[in-house]
Structure 1
Amino acid sequence: MNDNLIFSLDIGTRVVVGLVGMPEDDKLKILAVEQMEHTDRVMFDGQIHDIEKVASVACKIKEKLEKKLGISLKNVSLAAAGRSLKTKIVRIEKSIDENYIIKDRDIDNLVLSALNTAKEEISHEGYSVKYHMVGYSISSFYLDGLPITNLKDHTGREISVEIIATFLPYDVVESLYSVARKADLNVTYLTLEPIAAIGVAIMPQIRMLNIALVDIGAGTSDIAISKDGNIIAYSMVPFAGDEVTETIQQHFLTDFDTAEKIKTTSKKEIKFKDVIGIEHKISRSDVLKIIDPVVKNLSKKICDEILKYNGKSPSAVFLVGGSSNLPNIAEEIAKNLSIQPERVSVRDASSITVVEYKGKKLKGPEYITPIGIAYSSMIDRKKDFITIYFNDEKLELLNVKEMTIMDVLLKTNFDSKKLIARPGKNLSFKLNGKNIVINGEVGTPAKILKNGIVSNLKSKVENGDKIVVVSGINGKDASITIKDLKDKYSASKITVNGSIVDDDYIVKNGDDVNIVDDEEEFFVYINGDKTTLKGKEQYIFIDIFNFIDFQIPKNKIPEMILNGRKASYTDVLKKGDKIEIIV
């Protein structure tokens, strides 16, 4: 029995809830539940400040559950508060050749580049704080600046993507681990509170709808948004039920616990003493008037955050958490989002269909998250950290979602540019007045292997997988020499920008290259034979003896005839002249 037991702890700002359950026919059968308030304000806005005191409460809950069930609890499932979540919206653009057909790997590399940019930005903002990326969603793709559903097989000049990425500081995880260690518990599952809540409040079959879930606790209001079957964004507002309590505390000059009782009571007439010792008697309506501005402010902050990441009002809003019962909170949210009031619903634990509990009925929205932690643990049954080997380096990765090779690359400082085998640069020049373009080499694509098998960025990874990434090799730039052109076109003379150049000259972008036809070369006919003269701009008669093998006998002067008349050594020659040399 103990092997199947699930012990979950929901460590909230005001209350800690412990729950023990076990799987039964695809449902979570809850065996026992305990809850206890912190003795002091040891947590603020969902963040643990006093580990010792929080651990003390966790120990007491654990002991009560052990005694009630007659078992020993060794393992625990936990959730990190949404207070620590940071979300970045990033859009990046990449230029492409207008004739290039976009492939899947180009889209994957574009997304990876955007995620790396988000990671760099969040690291810069946090400086020394170490963050884990816990989730991301693609808002939209763009082709030449216009939105497009799928970039694959299209052509254009520029591709873009906008993503929403969510991060969690590693310190938050460490504080939870410290509490567990002090309670003599081994953490076997870790998730995020908004993930746990949405896991049972918005079941997969209705996630096609655009629904926002808001977990309003004491210190934070955590938000998760579903759309098209996926969770597209997580966020939070560091403002929740405690602000309402503090408003009552300041107005009536009470301690925090008294103010909390005034906030939560349903009595029409409320009696209490302030810190000075004066007794007061107020009506419930008086309290509602005092807290109304705070509730409106909280509602607006929540709605602003929903609109920021959803881009518009969702179809419905589900409220969970202890403070979702605040007076008029649902009505104010509906008003701010301009949706019908009945579409803002407080989700009670009794609405969860995947839970079976025969004991005291679980009531109220405050049980959604602890049930969600246990149910998520039951469904996933994964370790909170998994070991991956990346290029022979051992990595311990936070396992908060189904992980892909892209996630592994994001956890490392792998340069996404190494995945892209860029083609070499094209060479463009003019040849005899015509534009010539020689394409650069395509290059060798990167190779991704999982356990020796060729994979891609979307391939799923599991504990112990070995990932190897062989960087892509860029293609060589296009290049051609004058000799190459002479060989290709069987040319004997080529000019570049009007000048004769060496055969090893490398043609540059924009060069004006001309092949000089044989008919344009300088030639004459000597005793009937065509002879080409090279190396000078102008020739005189005596130059021909440098191009012919002609022996003049001693003591004889040859007779030189140029175009039928007697010639002298200094006569200027013209192309095609007919020359006779008679001895």
Structure 2
Amino acid sequence: MLKRNIAVGLDIGTTKVCVVVAEKDEIGKLNVLGNGRSNSDGLQRATVVNINKTVAAIKAAIADAERESSIRIKGVNVGISGAHVNCIHSNSEISVNQTGIVNESDVRRFLEKAKTNIKYLDIDHEIIHVIPQEFIVDDQDGVLDPIGMAGTTMRGSAYIVVGLRTKIRNIKQCIEKAGLDVSALTFEPVASGIAVMKESEKKSGVVVIDIGGGTTEVAIYIDGAIRYSEVVKVAANDVTHDVAHGVKALHEVAEELKIRHGYAYSKMLDEDETILIPGIEGRPQKSFPKSSLTMIIEARMMEIFELVRDSIKRSGYYEYLNAGAIITGGGALMPGTEELARDVLGLDVRLGYPEGVSGGIKGSVNNPMYATVMGLVAHSLQNSIFEEQRETQVIEGPFKSGDESPGEEVSSPVAAGAPSALNPAGNKIVDRLKKFWEQL
């Protein structure tokens, strides 16, 4: 039995499904072993509307990732998003154990207490994450890692992510119908942030803006912890719809026009030119000014960033974003997007690529559209004991197309074999806790 630090991320988006298989190396970086991608039209605004189409897209992406990695995939860390997901700040306070030194059991009790403080939630919702934000041990505040500190009481806050039970169940149904196990569910803004942020940005204050096909996700990090998130229901697909309406073309043609000729900001367009657009169903082709195409795109992209700006200001953290904004996702790739975002948001802006990838087929995922799925992989490999206990994630391999028999069995670090938080294994738990707090 070969044990390896392998994890699989599955990003089920409105326009595409992405899968990445990656392994953590000896220095904690990611080696990408394989990835798969397929077109998706079974979701709208990050919500499943067609089970069969979604299952087919998942199977196609998984098959590609299995062929490329030569590993049979069983368990996946699945991203979840949508307007149904809400985030709640919850305060908690406990007495430290009799030794007077904070241990991992105290932190567990602290987070459980934070969960009980939101029991007013109805039965239609379930908790996805409980993420610690800050601890105060006696009178020492601003503590991110309380383990080993002396004190009698510990209080602070946690960030609790909840989602609508039926919509989560639909996602799980799609995974199970595709022949997979749900090893974990991760809120996508959390995953995107893990993938693209640098440690200095997370501490200084930064907003991560992930522009997907159906939704734009906003996550704000201050002093090393997530403080606010929101899902905006306007994104890249809306740009394509506007182009299709403006130039009177099919959706597929409009998408190609957007990708090949689109600019998000009219100030970035050096010179105008005429674009030839194929006619619909045998009709003659027509011409359209590139400047007019840019105006259509700019109007919708400006709306997206205005909504994001409103979200940031509602959070109350706008003045604390010393590191500015990171824009990522497939919708951030259009020329002029950074410049438009900078003008509308009034912040420094950079484009976010997946960080912490050192080897394997690195180039295949070096793209903002892979930010979420790479964050899902990284989140699995963090293996935090503060997260909800995850199911065993087993990856069977090696695998070759057409091979029906499993080969060696490889367990990911979120699988059996890791010490239980309720039965700590000495210094190993402390080391894992320290790594977690460094990554949070």
TM over 0.5: yes
- CA change 1:82–1:327 in 2 (3 A) is farther
Q: Is residue 342 of structure 2 the alignment partner of residue 334 of structure 1?
A: yes
Matches within 5 A, 1:70-149: 70-87=70-87, 120=120, 123=122, 129-132=124-127, 134-135=129-130
What is the DSSP-based 3-state SS (H/G/I as helix, E as strand, rest coil) of the residue aligned with 1:84?
A: coil
Q: 2:331 aligns with which of 318, 323, 335?
A: 323
Q: Is residue 372 of structure 2 the alignment partner of residue 369 of structure 1?
A: yes
Aligned counterpart, 1:346:
351
What is the DSSP-based 3-state SS (H/G/I as helix, E as strand, rest coil) of the residue aligned with 2:220?
A: strand
- CA change 1:88–1:195 in 2 (3 A) is closer
Question: C-alpha distance in 2, partners of 1:63/1:331?
Answer: 38
- CA change 1:363–1:113 in 2 (3 A) is closer
Q: Is residue 173 of structure 2 the alignment partner of residue 178 of structure 1?
A: yes
CA contact (8 A) 1:87 1:166 kept: yes
- CA change 1:303–1:47 in 2 (3 A) is same
Unaligned runs of 5+ in 2: 92-108, 143-155, 263-272, 391-413, 415-421, 424-431, 434-440
What is the DSSP-based 3-state SS (H/G/I as helix, E as strand, rest coil) of the residue aligned with 2:203?
A: coil
- Deviation for aligned residue 1:115: 7.3
- CA change 1:219–1:67 in 2 (3 A) is same
What is the DSSP-based 3-state SS (H/G/I as helix, E as strand, rest coil) of the residue aligned with 2:365?
A: coil
Larger Rg: 1
- Equivalent residue letter for 1:218: G
CA contact (8 A) 2:33 2:68 kept: no
- Deviation for aligned residue 1:353: 3.0
Question: C-alpha distance in 2, partners of 1:189/1:110?
Answer: 22
- CA change 1:165–1:379 in 2 (3 A) is closer
What is the DSSP-based 3-state SS (H/G/I as helix, E as strand, rest coil) of the residue aligned with 2:303?
A: helix
What is the DSSP-based 3-state SS (H/G/I as helix, E as strand, rest coil) of the residue aligned with 1:22?
A: strand
- CA change 1:81–1:210 in 2 (3 A) is same
- Deviation for aligned residue 1:111: 11
- Deviation for aligned residue 1:383: 11
- CA change 1:187–1:276 in 2 (3 A) is same
Q: 2:239 aligns with which of 235, 239, 244?
A: 244
- CA change 1:162–1:63 in 2 (3 A) is closer
- Equivalent residue letter for 2:14: T
Matches within 5 A, 1:548-559: none
- Deviation for aligned residue 1:214: 0.8
Question: C-alpha distance in 1, partners of 2:362/2:128?
Answer: 39
CA contact (8 A) 1:82 1:193 kept: no
What is the DSSP-based 3-state SS (H/G/I as helix, E as strand, rest coil) of the residue aligned with 2:24?
A: strand
Question: C-alpha distance in 2, partners of 1:138/1:20?
Answer: 29
Deviations 1:165-214 (A, max 9, x none): 54222233322221221221122232111111111211445421110001
- Equivalent residue letter for 1:37: N
Matches within 5 A, 1:22-421: 22-25=23-26, 26-38=28-40, 41-87=41-87, 120=120, 123=122, 129-132=124-127, 134-135=129-130, 166-266=161-261, 269-274=275-280, 277-313=283-319, 314-315=321-322, 316-339=324-347, 343-349=348-354, 352-358=355-361, 360-380=363-383, 386=389
What is the DSSP-based 3-state SS (H/G/I as helix, E as strand, rest coil) of the residue aligned with 1:273?
A: coil
What percent identity do the matched residue pairs reach? 19
- Equivalent residue letter for 1:191: T
Greater RCO between the two (CA within 8 Å, min separation 6)?
2
What is the DSSP-based 3-state SS (H/G/I as helix, E as strand, rest coil) of the residue aligned with 1:265?
A: helix
- Deviation for aligned residue 1:260: 1.4
- Equivalent residue letter for 1:27: K
Q: How many residues align?
A: 352
CA contact (8 A) 1:252 1:274 kept: no
Unaligned runs of 5+ in 1: 92-108, 142-148, 151-160, 388-398, 400-449, 452-459, 462-583
Question: C-alpha distance in 2, partners of 1:383/1:117?
Answer: 17
TM-score normalised to structure 1 length: 0.53
- CA change 1:261–1:383 in 2 (3 A) is farther
- CA change 1:112–1:66 in 2 (3 A) is closer
Question: C-alpha distance in 1, partners of 2:130/2:283?
Answer: 51
Question: C-alpha distance in 2, partners of 1:234/1:45?
Answer: 16
- CA change 1:87–1:62 in 2 (3 A) is closer
- Deviation for aligned residue 1:90: 8.7
CA contact (8 A) 1:270 1:282 kept: yes
Question: C-alpha distance in 1, partners of 2:290/2:196?
Answer: 31
TM-score normalised to structure 2 length: 0.69
